[in-house]
């Protein structure tokens, strides 16, 4: 198995959330009258995939493999999947290829998973609402992974 794909060139910022922090974030949001009938982007930190790989390299003392999936490659995969689905709408492989490629393109090329994008769409920023709440960082998560104990990071 190769390295997981890095959408685009790895320089697009991505908002990360550690799964164990979600309960804390949700508890804060639902107890806050400022969030009634509002959407909130809850996240721990914003990094590029290259920064995540750099942190892994630093902590592990090794050079990580970087498997870039360029914007052009993603665009072609999306177009190919759409063509396959036009021919056979029940083509499960084409459906999954399209879904994964569009998801990767969204956050890894367009940069849709950032606080700036969320605020533009009308979301409140968790960090602005609760500046004292800190979650598990990517660095902490990767330390746990390297110690054989890591689980649960989302982007």
- The CATH number assigned to the domain with range 5-68+111-154 reads 3.90.25
How does pLDDT run across 99-126, given as a tens digit for each residue?
Answer: 999 999 999 999 999 999 999 999 999 9
Q: Where are the domains of the chain?
A: 5-68+111-154
For residue 18, pLDDT beyond 80: yes
How does pLDDT run across 49-61, given as a tens digit for each residue?
Answer: 999 999 999 999 9
Which of the four pLDDT bands, split at 50, 70 and 90, describes residue 149? Answer: confident
DSSP 91-107: -HHHHHHHHHHHHHHII
For residue 73, pLDDT beyond 90: yes
The model's pTM is 0.86
Residue 125 exposed, middle or buried by CB count within 10 Å (0-12, 13-18, 19+): middle
């Amino acid at each position: 198995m190769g390295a997981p794909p890095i959408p685009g060139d790895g320089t697009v910022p991505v908002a990360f959330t550690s799964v164990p922090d979600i309960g804390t974030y949700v508890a804060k949001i639902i107890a806050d009258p400022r969030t009634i009938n509002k959407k909130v982007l809850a996240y721990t930190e914003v990094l590029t995939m290259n920064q995540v790989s750099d942190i892994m390299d630093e902590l592990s003392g090794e050079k990580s493999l970087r498997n870039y999936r360029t914007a052009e490659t993603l665009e072609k995969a999306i177009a190919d999947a759409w063509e396959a689905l036009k021919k056979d709408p029940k083509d499960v492989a084409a459906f999954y290829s399209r879904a994964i490629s569009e998801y990767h393109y969204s956050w890894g090329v367009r940069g849709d998973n950032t606080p700036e994008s969320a605020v533009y769409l009308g979301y409140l920023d968790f960090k602005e609402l609760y500046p004292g709440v800190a979650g598990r960082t990517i660095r902490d998560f990767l330390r746990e992974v390297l110690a054989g104990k890591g689980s649960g990071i989302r982007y």
